[in-house]
Amino acid sequence: MPQLVPFYFINQVTFSFILLIIIIYIFSKYFLPKFIRLFITRLLISKL
């Protein structure tokens, strides 16, 4: 099992950080603004 060989740890950690950065970027750029707009809209409508 290559997951348990210490040689591969640095590859896995590097890949994990890169993937995490990409996911955070995609969420902050595309998904979060939609949810924030929806939340603000619902908040303003409920105050009417």
Domain count, the chain: 1
Q: Tens of pLDDT along 19-41? A: 999 999 999 999 999 999 999 99
Q: Is residue 5 part of a domain?
A: no
Q: Is residue 4 part of a domain?
A: no
Q: Is residue 3 part of a domain?
A: no
d(CA 21, CA 3): 22
- Taking CA atoms, 22 is separated from 3, 14, 29, 30, in Å, by 22, 12, 11, 12
Residue type at 30 in one-letter notation: Y
d(CA 23, CA 2): 25
Q: What is the pTM of this model?
A: 0.66
Band of pLDDT at residue 9, cut at 50, 70 and 90: confident
pLDDT for 45 beyond 70 = yes
How many H-runs (helices) and E-runs (strands) does the chain carry? 2, 0
Residue in this structure with the two tokens 């591969």, named with its chain if needed: 8
